[in-house]
Amino acid sequence: MFKYLKQLTSLVAMVAVLFTFTTESMAAKKSKTLKNTQKKGFVRCGVSQGLPGFSNADAAGNWTGIDVDVCRAVAAAVLGDANKVKFTPLSAKERFTALTSGEIDILSRNTTWTLSRDADIGLTFVGVNFYDGQGFMVRKSSGITSTSQFKDGISACTNIGTTTELNMRDFFNSKGIKYEPVAFEKADEVVAAYDAGRCDTYTTDKSGLAAQRTKMSNPDEHIVLPETVSKEPLGPVVRQGDSVWEDIVRWSLNTMIEAEEYGITSANADMMKTSDNPAIKRLVGAEGELGAAFGLDNDWSLRIIKQVGNYGESYKRNIADTGILPDRGPNELWTKGGILYVPPAR
């Protein structure tokens, strides 16, 4: 009976396609997610429940952050308006289920790219928008200045369901230190408990530590220790099985990074159309037919740069100017000593 149901649905779908005579490209027809997004008129984006610099809502409900900007870039490319995004705040625990069950179409939530996540649970990581590593925060008054001063019996607050929990075990085990893990479901509760003195140290990605420090009752009382104990490449994730959508998200992010490389900003993007450099002209849609491959028009990348800005602008606006991490560190372009390097848009 269910066999027939499936055939019946595909038959109805085929008839519908035949009779509507759409002018959509092959790519758009292949990508269910793109089609649904265009039909709905907004991009469904999963973000954190509040991590300053990455994804954070203000009192009026406006979301900002570099993770938020990835979704805005996709909205600018696909729908022509960077504001047409519906943000869904998700806990670390809920995030993958929300994506695989189809509740959201992009997960842009400071999520670490690992083999098991990429291969195992029906997800595809499209790139890295922030190179991070796990660190530890302690109270200045404790006198601890390095993780080598940690002793048996130390209690460490963190989030559940993150790579942090696993790295923490690896770290303390390798040092032979007995520790008490105190794992909460939400980041706000981790901060509150650590701030109250429940834990001696708070561990998560260093960017997260820097961002959460701003939420403490007295940020100056806390320091982030210099050691980095893991690799945490954070980036946007999409559902497995829609390669066109995957490409759109990947190249929306790449466009932002490459625009910075070529010095294209939201302010000068229009003027760059007359540039002599063909690479720049391609990025602002003045040359080539790059958008056609995704089923988008040729101005898709220009809209990203004009409405959201390049990666450098996004970083400055969200992370540097807010005082979270003024130094870009590894998140600087490869041409300036960092490791941000994206394939060419051509």
CB of 127 to other proteins, least distance (A): 20
Strand ranges of the sheet holding 201-205, from the earlier edge strand across to the other edge: 179-184, 154-159, 201-205, 134-139, 222-224
Per rule CB under 8 A, is residue 149 in the interface with other proteins?
Answer: yes
Count of residues touching other proteins (by CB under 8 A):
50
Q: Which of 117, 231, 281, 317 binds other proteins (CB under 8 A)?
A: 117
CB of 165 to other proteins, least distance (A): 5
Nearer to other proteins, 133 or 161 (CB): 161
- What 333-338 contacts at long range (C-beta under 8 Å, 24+ apart), as own/partner pairs, is 333/257, 333/260, 333/261, 335/261
Per rule CB under 8 A, is residue 286 in the interface with other proteins?
Answer: no
Q: Which of 24, 81, 165, 227 binds other proteins (CB under 8 A)?
A: 165
Q: Find out whether 286 and 301 touch, Cβ atoms under 8 Å.
A: no
**Pairing of β 179-184 and β 154-159:** parallel
Per rule CB under 8 A, is residue 7 in the interface with other proteins?
Answer: no
Q: Where are the beta strands (DSSP E) in 210-344?
A: 222-224, 232-234, 237-239
CB of 121 to other proteins, least distance (A): 3
Per rule CB under 8 A, is residue 92 in the interface with other proteins?
Answer: yes
Q: Find out whether 107 and 238 touch, Cβ atoms under 8 Å.
A: yes
Distance separating alpha carbons of residues 327 and 271, to the nearest angstrom: 30
User: Which positions touch other proteins (CB under 8 A)?
Assistant: 2, 92-93, 96-97, 100, 116-117, 120-122, 138-139, 141-144, 149-151, 153-155, 157, 160-162, 165-166, 168-169, 173, 179-186, 189, 192-193, 196-198, 200, 239-241
